[in-house]
C-alpha cells in the first residue's frame, strides 16, 4: 500500500465512534468528528459520491456496510484504492467471525475486533487479510477468544491464501464455467442491451501445495503460444483473476498458473460485450374486449441448437392488477396466476433447442370499474432459465493440470452452464 494509514475508525450511523485503532500517532479521535461533519455537509450535493475526502492535511477514505461506517484516515500521500480495498477486506473478515457486520456485532465482540485490527494492520500497513488464515490463530466462540502463541504456517508462507499441511483422501477439483446472459428488448423488438458475464468457479479439495495450470481457447492465449487462432478461439473482455493467479506469467505467455485456495473461490471472471442473440424469444399478443375481458397469446421459442436443452424455464408475464377468473392453456409446461405479483408464471421444465411452445390465457375484469382508471403499468416480460453443457461465448477448458510434489493423481471435473441474468423483453 502506497502511503500508510494513520488510524482506522468504525462509526455508527450517527457518526459516533464505536471502535478506533491508532497506528501512527499523527491523528486523534477528533478526526472522526470532522469526517462525519464533512460527510453530512456534502449530502446536499447529489453529485458528490466519492468515497474519498481531504481536509487540513488528512485524507479520509470510507465505505458503509449496514449501519456501520468504516473509515481510514491518513496524513500521507496514499493510494486511495488500496485503502478502500483493505476496508472491504475488513468487512469480509468480520463477517467470517460474526456472521454479519453491524453495530451490535461490534459492541458484542469489541475485544476480538481490536485483536483482528492488530493482526490485519501493523503501523498502518496491511498484513493478513485472509479470514481463513486469521481464524487459525484467533479463535472466537460467542464472546470468548482464544489466541495461540504459535502463528500458523501460512503466515510465514508467501502463499497467504492457503495453509500448509492440508490433506485429503481423495484429491478432486470441480470447475464450473457459469455464464449469465443479460438481455433487454424494447417494445419494438429491438435489442438495446446485450452482454454475457462469465465466471470460472472452482472448488479445490487437494492435498499439499499443488501447482495448477489451466488452458482456455482464448484467442490471445493461443496466439501467444504460436498456435493459429482458427475455429473456436474467442475474445474475452474485462478479465479479472483471483489473487492466487500469477499475473506476470499470464501477461507474458497467457498461461493461467496458480496455487489454489482450499475450498470454493472464483478463479476468473470475464465479460463478452458482443451482440448476443436471445436464447429464448418471447412474443405476446394482447387483445382487450371492451372492459370485461382480456386475452393473451404468448409464443416462446428457443433459439439455440437442438442438441442443447434449457431447464427450469420460467416466463413471467405481467397482467392487469384487477384481472380475475384466469382460463389458461399451454402446449407445454404449466402456468399459474400469481395475483400477488400481478403476473402469469409459465414454467417449462425441459425446453429443447429450436422448439416453439404456445400459451393462451383469458382473464375477466370486475363488472364495476372506476371512471378514470389509472394508467396501466408497463412491466416487462421476465425470463429465467438454465442451459447445462452450453456457453454463449464458446469458452472451453482445453486442459487443467494439477502437479504436486508428492505425485498424487487428482480428478478434475469440468461443467458448463448458461443462465438468465437480467433478461427482460418489453414487448407489451
CB–CB of 71/83 below 8 Å?
A: no
Query: Where does the pLDDT of residue 357 fall: very low under 50, low under 70, confident under 90, or very high at 90 and above?
Result: very high
Helices (H), 174-277: 219-224, 247-253
Confidence of residue 147 (pLDDT cuts 50, 70, 90): very low
The whole-number pLDDT of residue 273 equals 76
Q: Which of 214, 211, 235, 207 is nearest to 223 (CA)?
A: 235
Smallest CA-to-CA distance from 213 within 244, 235, 236 is with 244
The most confident of the ranges 158-167, 215-224, 345-354, 365-374 is 345-354
CA pair distance 60, 69, nearest whole angstrom: 12
- For residue 387, give the nearest of 173, 239, 218, 177 by alpha carbon: 177
Q: Residue with C-alpha cell 422448439?
A: 355
Domain 172-276+392-425 class? Answer: mainly beta
Q: How confident is the model at residue 274, as a pLDDT?
A: 76
The CATH code of the domain at 280-368+378-388 is: 2.60.40.1170
User: pLDDT per residue over 58-111, tens digit each?
Assistant: 999 999 988 899 999 998 888 888 889 999 999 988 888 888 888 888 888 888
Query: Distance (Å, rounded) from C-alpha 393 to C-alpha 162?
Result: 32
Condensed to tens digits (0 to 9), the pLDDT of residues 212-231 reads: 999 887 665 555 444 444 44
Task: Indicate the range of 140-144, 166-170, 250-254, 359-363 predicted with least confidence.
Answer: 140-144
Contact 152, 55 (CB under 8 A): no
The C-alpha cell 486523534 sits at 28
Per-residue pLDDT at 142 exceeds 50: no
How large is the average pLDDT for residues 231-243?
Answer: 75
| SS3 state at 52 | strand
Q: Which helix (H) or strand (E) holds 136?
A: helix 131-137
159 — pLDDT class (breaks 50, 70, 90): confident
Which residues does 267 contact at the CB level (< 8 Å), separation at least 6? 175, 200, 201, 202, 214, 241, 242, 244, 245, 256, 258, 260
pLDDT at residue 161 greater than cutoff 50: yes
Tens digits of residue pLDDT in 361-385:
999 887 655 544 545 557 899 999 9
pLDDT of residue 220: 53
Which CATH code is given to the segment(s) 7-156? 3.30.450.60
DSSP letter, residue 261: P
Angle between the 110-120 and 80-98 helix axes, to the nearest 10 degrees?
140
DSSP E strands in 334-410: the ranges are 334-338, 343-352, 356-364, 381-388, 397-403
CA–CA gap between residue 381 and residue 427 (Å, rounded) = 7
* Structural domain boundaries in the chain: 7-156, 172-276+392-425, 280-368+378-388
Contact between residue 99 and residue 87 where contact means Cβ atoms under 8 Å apart = no
Q: What is the rounded distance in angstroms from the CA atom of residue 309 to the CA atom of residue 306?
A: 7
Q: Same topology for domains 7-156 and 280-368+378-388, yes or no?
A: no
Amino acid at each position: 500500500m502506497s502511503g500508510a494509514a494513520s488510524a482506522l475508525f468504525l462509526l455508527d450511523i450517527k457518526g459516533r465512534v464505536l471502535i478506533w485503532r491508532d497506528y501512527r500517532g499523527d491523528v486523534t479521535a477528533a478526526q472522526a468528528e470532522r469526517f462525519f461533519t464533512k460527510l453530512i455537509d456534502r449530502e446536499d450535493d447529489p453529485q458528490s459520491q466519492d468515497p474519498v475526502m481531504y481536509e487540513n492535511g488528512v485524507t479520509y477514505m470510507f465505505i458503509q456496510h449496514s449501519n456501520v461506517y468504516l473509515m481510514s484516515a491518513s496524513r500521507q500521500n496514499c493510494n486511495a484504492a488500496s485503502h478502500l480495498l483493505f476496508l472491504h477486506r475488513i468487512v469480509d473478515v468480520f463477517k467470517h467471525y460474526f456472521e454479519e457486520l453491524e453495530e451490535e456485532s461490534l459492541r458484542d465482540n469489541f475485544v476480538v475486533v481490536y485483536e483482528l485490527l492488530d493482526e490485519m494492520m501493523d503501523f498502518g500497513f496491511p498484513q493478513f487479510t485472509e479470514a481463513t488464515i486469521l481464524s487459525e490463530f484467533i479463535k472466537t466462540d460467542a464472546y470468548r477468544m482464544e489466541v495461540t502463541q504459535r502463528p500458523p504456517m501460512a503466515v510465514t508462507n508467501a502463499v497467504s491464501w492457503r495453509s500448509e499441511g492440508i490433506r485429503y483422501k481423495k484429491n478432486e477439483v470441480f470447475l464450473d464455467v457459469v455464464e449469465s446472459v443479460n438481455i433487454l428488448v424494447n417494445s419494438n423488438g429491438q435489442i438495446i442491451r446485450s452482454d454475457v458475464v462469465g465466471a470460472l468457479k472452482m472448488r479445490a479439495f487437494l492435498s499439499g501445495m499443488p501447482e495448477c495450470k489451466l488452458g482456455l481457447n482464448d484467442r490471445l492465449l493461443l496466439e501467444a503460444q504460436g498456435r493459429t487462432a482458427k475455429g473456436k478461439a474467442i475474445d474475452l473482455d474485462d478479465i479479472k483473476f483471483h489473487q492466487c493467479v500469477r499475473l506476470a506469467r499470464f501477461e507474458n505467455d497467457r498461461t493461467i498458473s496458480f496455487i489454489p485456495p482450499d475450498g470454493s473461490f472464483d478463479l476468473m471472471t470475464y465479460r463478452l460485450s458482443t451482440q448476443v442473440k436471445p436464447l429464448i424469444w418471447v412474443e405476446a399478443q394482447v387483445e382487450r374486449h371492451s372492459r370485461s375481458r382480456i386475452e393473451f397469446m404468448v409464443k416462446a421459442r428457443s433459439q439455440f441448437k437442438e442438441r442443447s436443452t434449457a431447464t427450469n424455464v420460467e416466463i413471467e408475464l405481467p397482467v392487469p392488477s384487477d384481472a380475475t377468473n384466469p382460463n389458461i392453456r399451454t402446449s407445454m409446461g404449466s402456468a399459474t396466476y400469481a395475483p400477488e405479483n400481478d403476473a402469469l408464471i409459465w414454467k417449462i421444465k425441459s425446453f429443447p433447442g429450436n422448439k416453439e411452445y404456445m400459451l393462451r390465457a383469458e382473464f375477466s375484469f370486475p363488472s364495476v370499474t372506476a371512471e378514470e382508471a389509472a394508467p396501466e403499468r408497463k412491466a416487462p416480460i421476465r425470463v429465467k432459465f438454465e442451459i447445462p453443457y452450453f456457453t454463449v461465448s464458446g469458452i472451453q477448458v482445453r486442459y487443467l493440470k494439477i502437479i504436486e510434489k508428492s505425485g498424487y493423481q487428482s480428478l478434475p471435473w469440468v461443467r458448463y452452464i448458461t443462465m438468465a441474468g437480467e433478461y427482460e423483453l418489453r414487448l407489451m
